[in-house]
Amino acid sequence: MAIAGTSVRVYTLQCAYEMGESAEYIAENRGLPLPAVFEALAFAYEHPGEMDEIRRRNDEAQQYSLSLLPVNLRRASKKTIQADE
């Protein structure tokens, strides 16, 4: 689900907020009205199952993409991902 009139996904905003970005920062840096950010965050927290499913699908897609890389690049990518977590 995206913010109306944009391609910004609710899940993306939820992740940014969980990583420590304030709602004000998210709004300013993504060119969104602050009420839209609050509405998106409310939706995300009211629909945890949907957000978990998106996270699961993203993780699967990431693992598939990694599996297509040459071994050395795959190892380096996995190290980077682990360091970011």
CB 48 within 8 A of CB 11: no
Taking a C-beta distance cutoff of 8 angstroms, is the pair 27, 34 a contact?
Answer: yes
Q: What is the pLDDT of residues 63-74, one digit of tens each?
A: 899 899 999 898
- Does the reported pTM lie above 0.85? no
End-to-end C-alpha distance for the chain, whole angstroms: 24
- Amino acid 8: pLDDT: 93
Reported for 28-32, long-range contacts at CB under 8 A and 24+ positions apart, including other chains, are: 32/3, 32/6, 32/8
Annotated domain spans of the chain: 1-46, 48-85
> What pLDDT is attached to residue 4?
84
